[in-house]
Amino acid sequence: MSLNVIHEGLPAGGALNKLVMSNWDPRVLRPWMDDDGRCFYDGQAGSVRAAMAGTATLRKDEWLKIDETVIEVAQNRLRGIRDLQTYGLVKNLPGAMGMTVYAWETITDLSGPEANMDMVSRARNERLEYDMESIPLPVLFKDYEINARFLAVSRRDGSGIDTIAARLATQKVVQGMEDRLFNGWDFTYAGYTLYGYRTYPKRNTGNLLGSWTASATTGVMKLQDILNGRQKLRDNKMFGNFIVYVPSTYEIALAEDYKSESDKTVKQRILEVDGLVDIKVSDYLPNDEIILVHLDKTTVTLINGMDPTPIQWDTEGGTRLHHKILALSVVKFATDSAGNCGLVHLVAP
């Protein structure tokens, strides 16, 4: 294999120093070695850079196999996060590993236009007011080990690297991402708090007509719950598309007949509601709680600093090598200048 190698070398020192020296590019923590034991890492624009001898434990094809496993697990498990990506509600943040807080500017709105027949009268000259809001940027990660003996056996017999540990570690990370999307984070940094769909203080709240698992709650009542939630969105000037999340205990309720001897299920009838793009089951919602999300950046944005990524992490002066699945992804919630919010949280009484 022919390599285009840039001989600048991997930054020296521990993992954090390597990140700092590379402008927080996680690829410096993914060194690989060729068949001759020479070490490299991938650089910008497809380039390959020489790394210090002894810094790599995996070959390029082994990293690729781990990558494939991480991507597969993330695609299967990240339901709510994937929806934000699907509908374009993402703000990519290069170099986010080098930041602790993400800040953005908010502005007040202007009043409506004025009307007359001659446009001579002077309109009100209004001044926009600016403010700053911030959220912290924590990192989610899970360590795992690659057994050196088993790795050597896989190379000798050609069976390929065993990725079960990477799979399990990725599952833990993406489960954490999904859980925090719905339930928020359990810590505060520098006075800033990260909320979830269920915990954002400015969300709209209300009651369901009854638990969807109760026999007395009919399909018509379940439909009315969704219509009531949509009305709360419209009352908040949120007229675009929205998505609904229900707990896993409601999955059977969605599959029941909408009415006695109906040719439609409850889910099929609910999906006919104007503006609703989908209704999905979430394992991270408690029983008898439903979330409606207005699919617009005025409501929610995924701040994506790093998708789940496998890296090699050294400690004790580089004498011990570990492996991690690392992700940096948080959610920013917002309201318009009048305080209107595109989140609705309905709970059974």
* Tens digit of each residue's pLDDT, the chain (349 residues): 334 333 344 444 566 667 767 777 778 888 888 888 888 878 777 778 777 666 778 889 999 999 999 999 988 878 999 999 999 999 999 888 888 888 877 665 555 666 655 655 555 655 555 567 888 999 999 998 887 788 888 888 888 888 888 999 999 999 999 999 999 998 788 788 899 999 999 999 999 999 999 999 999 999 999 999 999 999 999 999 999 999 999 999 999 999 987 889 999 999 999 999 999 999 999 999 999 999 999 999 999 999 999 998 766 655 566 889 999 999 999 998 889 999 999 999 9
3-state helix/strand/coil string of the chain: CCCCEECCCCCCCCHHHHHHHCCCCHHHHCCEECCCCCEEEECHHHCEEECCCCCCCEEHHHHHHHHHHHHHHHHHHCHHHHHHHHCCCEEECCCHHHCCEEEEEEECCCCCCCCCCCCCCCCCCCCCCEEEEEEECCCEEEEECCCHHHHHHHHHHCCCCCCHHHHHHHHHHHHHHHHHHHHCCCCEECCEECCCCCCCCCCEEEECCCCCCCCCCCHHHHHHHHHHHHHHHHHCCCCCCEEEEEEHHHHHHHHCECCCCCCCEHHHHHCCCCCEEEEEEECCCCCCEEEEEECCCCCEEEEEEEEEEEEEEEEHHHCEEEEEEEEEEEEEECCCCCCCCCEEEEECC
Spell out the domains of the chain, with CATH numbers in brackets.
1-56 (no CATH), 204-300+336-347 (3.30.2320.10)
